[in-house]
Amino acid sequence: MSHATFTPADLTTFCGLDELGLEAVGQYLEPGRAVIECRVTDADPWCVACGSEGVPRDTMTRRLAHEPFGHRPTTLLVRVRRYHCSGCGRVWRQDVSAAAEPRAKISRTGLRWALTGLVIDHRTISRVAAGLGVSWYTANSAVLTEGRRTLIDQPGRLDGVTTIGVDEHVWRHTRRGDKYVTVIIDLTPSRTRTGPARLLDMVPGRSKQVFKTWLAARPQSWRDGIEVVAMGGFTGFKTAAAEELPDAVPVMDPFHVVKLAGDALDRCRRRVQQTLHGHRGRAGDPLYRARRTLHTGADLLTDRQHARLSALFRVDEHVEVEATWGIYQRMVTAYRHSDKQIGQQELRAVIDVLRTGVPPALVELRRLGRTLQQRATDVLAFFDRPGTSNGPTEAINGRLDHLRGSALGFRNLTNYIARSLLESGGFRPQLHPQMR
């Protein structure tokens, strides 16, 4: 049993009202809500205009949503005294700025609770609004404004970035309006193994100009500090980085390179399936049944999967799929090699084979070879700079998909960007001291 020193029960301390410059003087329960009557501890009776002492005139009340205790929303009923100056006639009220912003409906402690719930506990705005006992619009406006002020718009948020990743992200699954945004990720913590990657910004649209404009808006000193830019196969991002970050090294990360090979394997499988059977893959077709097994690394195959592939490749008509699968596995093996120099040599050999030694019938491999040949320098640069994979970028994209699902979609892109930054912007240590 702990040896903590207990003090007499004090509602002011228990509810954190002393931090807001308030003192609890009463309480009562409404249906579904707890109300705490408070008064301002600082009397503030002196006139700032003439220095005379004011005379109490009347008292007004202000209701503030506060941090909930349990499942019951808590409301502060703050009694604010107004004074009348006997000298100059000026009228003023007690200062409650320590408790809440002017015209705010939520106390500063309530805002802190809401922001912590959003960033650390991944609550939805609806859940936050229910906990505070306010409307969705009130909670959303207040929390996003506070999040921008204290977290997103803080000076120095982009300091220390040396490695960035850039990718596109689908935010609106409809035909109306622009469906894509460009996400910029700080990969420096992942590369230096000091923490997880974080979302730096999200920009409407996906094009060279979008990324170029975002880079141009950053200070020159910040751009000079960028050493590596990890990206996918979209050449627009590469061109924008080359123009705005001439000293940075572009790296086509393994995730997208392997995905290109996997897409070639899928296209080859579908083409052979259509040629042999005259229809798309069905549940009983061997090629369709093996579609996921074909994408599994050879060193991870189970005995059953080995047997399935052996039976599949014994069919002479499947030789094109087997050849494409072999290239895919060689690329995966190269990236997984513990010695990066050997892995680089193996992948360079694969690119050379695709450039010169592919029969005309293997149209998918020839297309893959042209792409890899054009970006060979960027592809092989990964082995000289380990830890520059865009894998963390895809992980953040997955978290944003989960956020969109929890919120049942977003109509307002500005809100979506703010919520995404709070969700994946790396702010958890700032709100939770134990995470530092």
Q: Where are the domains of the chain?
A: 11-152, 163-253+389-419, 254-384
Bridge partners (DSSP) of residue 62 are 78
pLDDT at 296 over 70: yes
Q: What is the pLDDT of residues 76-87, one digit of tens each?
A: 999 999 988 888
Just give the CATH number of 163-253+389-419: 3.30.420.10
- Provide the 8-state DSSP code for 46: B
Sign for the CA dihedral angle at 355, 358, 360, 366 comes to negative
Residues 6+ apart with CB under 8 A from 167: 182, 183, 185, 231, 232, 390, 393, 394, 397
Of all helices (H) and strands (E), which one includes residue 24? strand 22-30
CA 393 to chain CA centroid, Å, is 9
The Cα–Cα gap between 198 and 201 comes to 9
Task: Please state the pTM of the whole predicted model.
Answer: 0.83
* C-beta of residue 120 within 8 angstroms of C-beta of residue 432: yes
What is the pLDDT confidence band of residue 433, given thresholds at 50, 70 and 90? low
The Cα–Cα gap between 152 and 147 comes to 6
Predicted pLDDT of residue 319: 94
For tokens 């997984």, the residue is 336
What is the pLDDT confidence band of residue 394, given thresholds at 50, 70 and 90? confident
The Cα–Cα gap between 45 and 54 comes to 5
Residue closest to 144 by CA, chosen among 432, 354, 436, 410: 410
Residues 6+ apart with CB under 8 A from 29: 35
Alpha-carbon torsion angle 404, 407, 409, 410, nearest 10: -100
> Exposed/middle/buried for 368, CB within 10 Å: 0-12, 13-18, 19+?
buried
Bridge partners (DSSP) of residue 53 are 46
What is the pLDDT confidence band of residue 2, given thresholds at 50, 70 and 90? low
What is the pLDDT confidence band of residue 190, given thresholds at 50, 70 and 90? confident
| Mean predicted confidence (pLDDT) in 196-200 | 92
